[in-house]
Chain A
C-alpha cells in the first residue's frame, strides 16, 4: 500500500510525463500542510524551464498543468486541495531584495 506521499509523487510524476510543452515543466515538488480553512492541503511547486518568457507567465497557460495535477490527485483518491506556486530555477532561492 503506497503512502500518501508516494501517491502524490506518483500523481505529480504522471503529469510531468504528459505536461504541455509550453510552458515546459522541468520538476515538481510538494509538501503537505493545512490551509486557512483548516483543511488538508498539498502545496505544489512547479518548476518551469528557465527560458519561460514573462509573456507566457499567465494562468491561462498554467491552468492545464494545474488541472492535470488536481485531477491526478483526485484520481489517487485524495481530497487534499492543491495550491500551486510556479517558479523558474533561478527564482527558487533568490535573496529578498
Chain B
C-alpha cells in the first residue's frame, strides 16, 4: 500500500478506537491523518505532472515534494472551489482567451478543491484548537471526504484545470504575478 493509503487506514483505525467513549487525541489525529493523506496525494500528483517518472521517483522529486506548502496548496484549491468569476485574471487567461467566457470547472475537481480547503481548516482545528471538540461522526465524515477526494484525484488527468491546480499547489500566487494582457 502507498503512504497515502496507509494514512487513511491509520485515520480509520484511530477514529474507530475506543468504542464506548472516543478519545479526543485519537479523533484529532484521525482528522489530521486524513488531511495529510489528501495533501500527500496532491503532492504526488503535482510531482508526477511536472517530472518524468524517473525524476519524480528520484532526488529531483524528493526536493520538489518538499517545496509544496500548505498555504500555496490551499490558495490553489480555493481558486477552483469557488465561482470562476473569482479566479485571478492570470488563471482565467490560462483557461480561456481574454474576453471569452470562462468554461465551467469539472465538478470532480471542484469537489476535490472544496474538500481540500475544508479539510485543511479541520486539520488546524484538530491540531491546535483544543477548545473545539470532535465527534466520532465528524472524524468519520472528514475521513470519508478525504477518501473520496483522493479517489477523484487519482482518476483525473493532469491537464486543463487539474494541471493548473497542480501548478498552483507548487507555485501558489506566484503563478498569478507579473501578468499583463
Closest Cβ of chain A to B8, distance in Å, is 16
CB pair B141 A58 closer than 8 Å: yes
Which of A62, A81, A86, A91 meets B78, CB within 8 Å? A81
B60 at the interface (CB under 8 A from A): no
Residues facing A in B1-53 (CB within 8 A) are 21-25
CB pair B74 A36 closer than 8 Å: yes
Q: Chain B residues with Cβ under 8 A from A79's Cβ?
A: 86
CB pair B136 A54 closer than 8 Å: yes
CB pair B117 A83 closer than 8 Å: yes
A4 at the interface (CB under 8 A from B): no
Instruction: Tell me the dominant secondary structure on chain B's binding face.
Output: helix
Q: Chain B residues with Cβ under 8 A from A35's Cβ?
A: 74, 121
Q: Chain A residues with Cβ under 8 A from B145's Cβ?
A: 59
CB pair A88 B24 closer than 8 Å: no
Tally of A interface residues using CB under 8 Å: 28
What CA separation (Å) do A38 and B70 show in the bound complex? 11
Q: Could you give, for residues 68-97 of chain A, a 1 whenever the CB lies within 8 Å of some chain B CB and a 0 otherwise?
A: 001000100001010111111001011111
Q: Known A-B contacts: A36-B124, A57-B141, A58-B141. Give 17 more (CB < 8 A).
A: A35-B121, A36-B71, A37-B72, A37-B74, A39-B75, A54-B140, A57-B138, A79-B86, A81-B78, A81-B117, A83-B121, A84-B118, A85-B132, A86-B138, A87-B135, A96-B24, A96-B130
Interface residues of B (CB under 8 A from A): 21-25, 70-72, 74-75, 78, 82-83, 86, 115, 117-118, 120-122, 124-125, 130, 132-133, 135-138, 140-141, 144-145
Interface residues of A (CB under 8 A from B): 35-39, 41, 43, 54, 57-59, 62, 70, 74, 79, 81, 83-88, 91, 93-97
